[in-house]
Structure 1
């Protein structure tokens, strides 16, 4: 008998040497196609590109506002030269910045030196000290992150989430008339329609999405402790508060006038709470749809060539919804951590936010992946009416509610023989096998007005859905 070899990865082919480099995390590996749109916004090179943009625009703003005496106006060609620096930031430039940072051991200072290199030998060389003028690193970083997150939210996450909610709403409308036995506390309960229950989730998601759409993205540029100390020491005659406000607002952000060295990050905590809450509602949808699939209410279309189980050929697993659940849980955990840690900075500044904010893209990546999985899962679903009807037909006891309610109304109107309606229906239905005949016999024994008696006798579990269809029509956007 051959002995089992001990597992020792260090004795195998070293995967760290494989080219191209193997991703450690799934967002840059297995799930790269879905997460890739976020790279332009929330990756490390995207951060450095945003820093270049902020530094360049600050340079231009200082010249255009006459904030620094002796600085001349820039020509159109000089403005174009400056703006070409972030615009052309590609693979070679990323590598160059990395080489500079190896020396500076400071990423923002490396950005400053990167820009100054490009001004050498140009008409702007004499103005090169305007790069990073009166700035602390956080002046550049907070604005860069605000622009990055704003771009990721508005250009990637919101369009994906909006399309998802539209897909869910479409499913709700298509199933609005499909009667379904509800299960409050996991027990048979008042019927509804499948579409109305899906519409509830679409409505909830749309409300959270509206909060994200209304998010403010704040920024500041006021120096090392938020006092404009360096600004006023260098040039006391300039209205630096106004220069700061117009610059931040010119970037498309909301100006924050009162900060320590850092912008307080409260807006980030607000945003991440809303995105996380959207994800938790979506998690609710994923688990409910998973349950409806397990009950047979939804049938799943199998993709050609796909395999549900390696052992059981008949299975079509609801993998898209299960994948979404896991990614939403990871995303929510990251967003919750970011929201909790970013609102606190020891005294005037600590660097915990530097590490934390580098995980913003990971949090959004798992959220985006979950959205993609739910959308793909929804496309496989069709309503399976037979199990819906069978469950309803086996649950005539749910009509105890409308009958006892009609008896109450009759009693209030002075109809005799309507005493103790709830108790009488409880005795009839609780723990009893109830069918259509039992219900109709009981209704027929009541001295109800003829119209009421006929209406209750005609009622079935499948028709007892109240205003479910109207609610979908009237209130689902």
Structure 2
């Protein structure tokens, strides 16, 4: 409110003077504040970082799972030890490292985002000790990001495992077959495919036999017979490529 300033120098335009001084230092002018510069923008930054960390943590866990399933292998690094008793192991340690550090980062950043906008009667100094830990939260983030990048760089695709898994999953084609059946007016397509596939071991042979029972044009039947789990990807490839553009 410039109370003391105006009492001492009432002839000075203190608002304009202060704005000019602050902006001369390259700092954005904030006309309305409490006793301190509000911490709202810091809380917004931390909340955004927590959301990013949560997405990255989800990636870490998914990749860990894909490694466990054998979809990905890991390039060996000289000097690394996977287990104290099993020398053959190559553990997904980088993704585990990242996951742990992201959890610590989010714990710190979430607390700061909740704490900093709150001050008792605008005079509470508990924000000071909290602000000193910004580097802790950012530090855990940095360690986690580096670990994920290291882990991604070590991945190698096990295409044969993926192909074998897909070849055991012909039941996924119940979805496109149902849609094609609907298009060509086949009665109760969902019910027919449910009776055929639910709880059953669906194979390429049994699926082709089912297709042959359908009352659809031969060109459509040929389209259905050409479907395979490996080819049933829609436009996933082009969507993925577009991310890099």
TM-score, normalised via structure 2 length: 0.95
Query: 2:225 is matched with which residue?
Result: 457
Residues 252-331 of structure 1: matches in 2 within 5 Å? Answer: 252-331=26-105
Cα distance in 1 for partners of 2:241, 2:24 equals: 43
**Offset from partner CA, 1:31-63 (integer Å, 9 cap, x none):** xxxxxxxxxxxxxxxxxxxxxxxxxxxxxxxxx
Query: 2:241 is matched with which residue?
Result: 473
Judging changes above 3 Å, is the alpha-carbon distance between structure 1 residues 266 and 384 closer, same or farther for their aligned structure 2 residues?
Answer: same
CA contact (8 A) 1:232 1:240 kept: yes
Cα distance in 2 for partners of 1:234, 1:337 equals: 42
Residues 63-82 of structure 1: matches in 2 within 5 Å? Answer: none
Q: Larger C-alpha radius of gyration, 1 or 2?
A: 1
Judging changes above 3 Å, is the alpha-carbon distance between structure 1 residues 441 and 248 closer, same or farther for their aligned structure 2 residues?
Answer: farther
Asked if residue 388 in structure 1 is aligned to residue 166 in structure 2, the reply is no
Asked if residue 446 in structure 1 is aligned to residue 214 in structure 2, the reply is yes
Query: 1:371 is matched with which residue?
Result: 145
Query: 1:120 is matched with which residue?
Result: none
Q: Secondary structure at the match of 1:405?
A: helix
**Offset from partner CA, 1:384-405 (integer Å, 9 cap, x none):** 1011111100011111111111
Q: How far off is 1:236 after superposition?
A: 3.0
Q: How far off is 1:242 after superposition?
A: 2.2
Q: How far off is 1:261 after superposition?
A: 1.3
Cα distance in 1 for partners of 2:231, 2:128 equals: 59
Q: Secondary structure at the match of 2:118?
A: coil
Q: How far off is 1:476 after superposition?
A: 4.7
Query: 2:196 is matched with which residue?
Result: 428
Q: Secondary structure at the match of 1:299?
A: strand
Q: How far off is 1:470 after superposition?
A: 1.5
Cα distance in 1 for partners of 2:100, 2:26 equals: 35
Judging changes above 3 Å, is the alpha-carbon distance between structure 1 residues 246 and 281 closer, same or farther for their aligned structure 2 residues?
Answer: farther
Q: How far off is 1:445 after superposition?
A: 1.5
Cα distance in 2 for partners of 1:381, 1:420 equals: 45
Which of the residues 123, 136, 143 maps onto 1:349? 123
Q: What stretches of structure 1 of length at least 5 have no aligned partner? A: 1-226, 412-417
Number of corresponding residues: 245
Cα distance in 2 for partners of 1:440, 1:253 equals: 70
**Offset from partner CA, 1:346-393 (integer Å, 9 cap, x none):** 113110101110111101110111111111111101111011111100
CA contact (8 A) 1:245 1:255 kept: yes
**Offset from partner CA, 1:14-42 (integer Å, 9 cap, x none):** xxxxxxxxxxxxxxxxxxxxxxxxxxxxx
Asked if residue 340 in structure 1 is aligned to residue 114 in structure 2, the reply is yes
**Offset from partner CA, 1:121-158 (integer Å, 9 cap, x none):** xxxxxxxxxxxxxxxxxxxxxxxxxxxxxxxxxxxxxx
Q: How far off is 1:475 after superposition?
A: 4.3
Q: Secondary structure at the match of 1:255?
A: coil
Judging changes above 3 Å, is the alpha-carbon distance between structure 1 residues 459 and 305 closer, same or farther for their aligned structure 2 residues?
Answer: same
Q: How far off is 1:430 after superposition?
A: 0.9
Judging changes above 3 Å, is the alpha-carbon distance between structure 1 residues 344 and 311 closer, same or farther for their aligned structure 2 residues?
Answer: same
CA contact (8 A) 1:260 1:349 kept: no
Judging changes above 3 Å, is the alpha-carbon distance between structure 1 residues 330 and 451 closer, same or farther for their aligned structure 2 residues?
Answer: same
Q: Secondary structure at the match of 1:347?
A: helix
Q: Secondary structure at the match of 2:234?
A: coil
Query: 1:18 is matched with which residue?
Result: none
Cα distance in 1 for partners of 2:163, 2:21 equals: 63
